[in-house]
Structure 1
């Protein structure tokens, strides 16, 4: 074997071992999430609230479906109906989803900036094992509550992409749907939420 072939085999072997190690240890989600968090900071993935808000006039917004039962991290049953009258930031995510992991720090920052009763946060885990979501939330030190479904997901919230975020205004209308990751920790987005009260 010549030196070039040996060098290529060594490079492929090291790369393959590194990738395999990341997947076997579960660290791939963290690594990919870290890279995607960098992409979020460029501003390329921000939800286009200005365009969506103006194109979806108040009178044309569809009514949100509040027929959803949830279970929080303490094991308590919570009905979505309890959040009626508030602006709702509803995010569907999973611990195994790198884009979800990437947007979580920004969501937590936004949560801490605006918490106080005006906006309800529903961080709905799609993990098969809900304990993974609870442990992830604790390990990362996030302050928002995590939930799992206690029944069926209403059809209006089904999505082919995760993360998917829905924003419901205080009148119970769907004001925004954003598929894919987004950087919600911006003044523009916080103003958008404030205007929905």
Structure 2
């Protein structure tokens, strides 16, 4: 009798966990005073742009930067993409940048997802292993860096980025 009443609760918890993200959600504000500078700075990372060109992430020093880790197979990643697209279209690209790093094993999968969206401009694929700063328990994961390359915010899990607060982070 007790087992019957426990099963619906177990099912609810399992479904809730599986549907909310491709990993646990956690948002943290980071201060360079509380972390070692080498751990929380915009890393050197070789990327390939969706158009095939080479790109170095650290070349964005001097701009505010939003880096989003995603994959086409990740439902929560796909869910937050429209809000990222809206945020990216609202920024002054001379002062800020959005970098969407696809973690798809096959670049073609990421490219298929991007077709018909205004996201290809911001899409990149890693050409080397991700640096430690991007080792997170799940995706989507988003990192905000100031002009000095210092991480100011980290979010693991789905978020609505088309808000005044996130626009302010990239102004």
TM (norm. structure 1) is: 0.67
| C-alpha displacement of 1:157 | 1.0
Unaligned runs of at least 5 residues, structure 1: 1-34, 37-44
Unaligned runs of at least 5 residues, structure 2: 1-18
Higher helix fraction (1 or 2): 1
Structure 2 CA distance, aligned partners of 1:127 and 1:186?
27
| C-alpha displacement of 1:193 | 2.8
Structure 1 residue aligned with 2:104: 127
Structure 1 residue aligned with 2:137: 160
| C-alpha displacement of 1:60 | 3.9
Match of 1:146 among 99, 123, 127: 123
RMSD: 2.3
| C-alpha displacement of 1:101 | 0.5
TM (norm. structure 2) is: 0.76
Structure 2 residue aligned with 1:180: 157
Structure 1 CA distance, aligned partners of 2:123 and 2:74?
15
Work out the number of aligned pairs and report it. 146
SS of residue in 1 equivalent to 2:77: helix
SS of residue in 2 equivalent to 1:188: helix
Higher strand fraction (1 or 2): 2
Structure number with greater CO (CA < 8 Å, separation at least 6) is 2
Q: Which has the larger radius of gyration?
A: 1
